[in-house]
C-alpha cells in the first residue's frame, strides 16, 4: 500500500464517490489566539460516519461479475458496506460483535444486509468474515487494510484542506489505520509542514505502541466506550503508511471523549459518538495553530448520548 496510496489515487477516489457521498461542511471554531479548529463532521454522512467513503470507492471498483460482499465491523464499516452494496445492487453480509451498539446493527439490517453475530474480539469477527466470504464466493470488503478503502477515506482530508487551506496540525483517530493512512498521505502532500497526530483510547493504543517499538504490536482486547477504535493491532498494509507519515499518537480517556461529545453538542450542535469525538478530545487538550480535526462519526448509543447531554447542560 505504501507505494500505491498516492494523492493521485485519492483524487481519483474523490471523483468516483462524488455522486454517492456528502461533501461534509467545514466548521471553523476559534479558541483564542493560540488555536483555531477546522472541524470536518463526517457524522453528517448518510450512514453517520466517514466509512461510507471507503466502502463506496471499493465497491465501485469491483469487477462486474462480483456476486456479493462480506464485511466485518463493530458498526460503522458494516453500515457503509450495506448502504453501498444496496446502491450497486449487491447482496451483503456483515459480521458484527455481540456488544455492537443496537443502533448500528439495526441500521445495517435496514440497508438490507444480513448480520452474523460473534463475540466481542475483533480478531474473531475478521476470521469469521474471511471464512464466510470464501464459502459464498463473495468479495471481502476490508474495513481498513485495502488501498481503495484507504484512498476513499483520504478524500475527507482532501476536502478539509481544499476548504480550510494550509494546516499546522491534523488530528484523526486511529483504529486499523485506513482513515489515517489515506488522510496522512493527503495532508503530507498538500500541507508538508503540518504535524500529523493520531489519537487512540487509553486501553487501545496499539498503533502508539507499534510506533514506539518500530514494529506492529498486538494489545489485549479493549473495553473503551469507543467501540470503533478497539482494533488490537495496526493493519498489515496500513502500517507502513502510518509509520512513514504519522508524527505522533496520543491517548485519550473515555471521560475526555464524553467531554468532547458534550462540547460538540454545546458549541457546534453536533452529535458525535465516542470514537468520532476522540480527535476532538485531543485537539481541545493540546491544539495549537491551525488544526484540522476529523470528526469520524456520530452513531452513538442512547446511554452515551444521555451522558454527553448531561455534561453539555453544565457548560456555559
- Out of 40, 51, 58, 104, pick the active-site residue: 51
Rounded CA-CA distance 301/175 in Å is: 19
**To 5 degrees, how large is the angle CA 131–CA 175–CA 127?**
10
- Out of 74, 275, 279, 296, pick the active-site residue: 296
Strands 139-140, 69-72: pairing is parallel
Tell me, yes or no, if 296 is annotated catalytic. Answer: yes
Q: Which residues pair with 92 in a beta bridge?
A: 69
Sheet strands side by side (includes 35-41): 27-30, 35-41, 289-295, 169-173, 195-201, 248-252
Residue 48 CA: distances (Å) to CA of 124, 168, 198: 25, 27, 21
Tell me, yes or no, if 51 is annotated catalytic. Answer: yes
Grid-cell match 470514537, residue found: 275
Cα 297 off chain centre by: 7
Strands 27-30, 35-41: pairing is antiparallel
Q: Which of the residues are catalytic?
A: 51, 296
Amino acid at each position: 500500500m505504501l507505494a500505491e496510496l498516492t494523492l493521485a489515487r485519492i483524487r481519483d477516489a474523490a471523483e468516483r464517490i462524488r455522486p454517492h457521498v456528502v461533501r461534509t461542511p467545514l466548521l471553523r471554531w476559534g479558541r483564542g489566539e493560540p488555536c483555531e479548529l477546522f472541524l470536518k463532521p463526517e457524522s453528517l454522512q448518510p450512514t453517520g460516519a466517514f466509512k461510507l467513503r471507503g466502502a463506496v470507492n471499493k465497491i465501485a471498483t469491483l469487477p462486474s461479475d462480483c456476486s456479493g460482499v462480506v464485511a466485518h465491523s463493530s458498526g460503522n464499516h458494516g453500515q457503509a458496506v450495506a448502504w453501498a452494496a444496496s446502491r450497486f445492487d449487491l447482496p451483503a453480509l456483515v459480521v458484527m460483535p455481540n456488544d455492537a451498539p443496537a443502533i448500528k446493527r439495526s441500521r445495517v439490517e435496514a440497508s438490507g444486509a444480513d448480520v452474523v453475530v460473534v463475540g466481542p474480539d475483533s480478531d474473531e469477527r475478521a476470521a469469521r468474515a474471511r471464512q464466510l466470504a470464501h464459502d459464498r464466493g463473495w468479495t471481502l470488503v476490508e474495513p481498513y487494510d485495502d488501498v481503495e478503502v484507504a484512498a476513499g477515506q483520504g478524500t475527507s482530508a482532501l476536502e478539509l484542506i481544499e476548504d480550510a487551506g494550509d494546516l499546522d496540525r491534523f488530528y484523526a483517530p486511529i483504529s486499523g489505520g485506513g482513515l489515517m493512512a489515506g488522510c496522512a498521505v493527503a495532508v503530507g502532500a498538500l500541507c508538508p509542514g503540518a504535524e500529523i497526530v493520531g489519537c487512540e483510547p487509553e486501553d487501545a493504543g496499539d498503533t502508539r505502541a507499534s510506533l514506539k517499538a518500530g514494529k506492529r504490536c498486538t494489545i489485549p482486547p479493549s473495553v473503551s466506550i469507543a467501540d470503533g477504535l478497539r482494533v488490537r493491532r495496526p493493519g498489515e498494509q496500513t502500517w507502513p503508511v502510518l509509520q512513514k507519515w504519522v508524527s505522533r499518537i496520543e491517548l485519550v480517556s473515555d471521560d475526555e471523549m464524553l467531554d468532547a461529545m458534550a462540547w460538540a453538542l454545546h458549541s457546534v450542535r453536533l452529535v458525535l459518538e465516542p470514537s468520532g469525538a476522540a480527535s476532538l478530545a485531543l485537539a481541545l487538550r493540546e491544539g495549537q495553530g491551525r488544526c484540522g480535526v476529523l470528526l469520524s462519526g456520530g452513531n452513538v448509543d442512547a446511554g452515551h448520548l444521555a451522558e454527553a447531554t448531561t455534561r453539555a447542560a453544565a457548560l456555559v
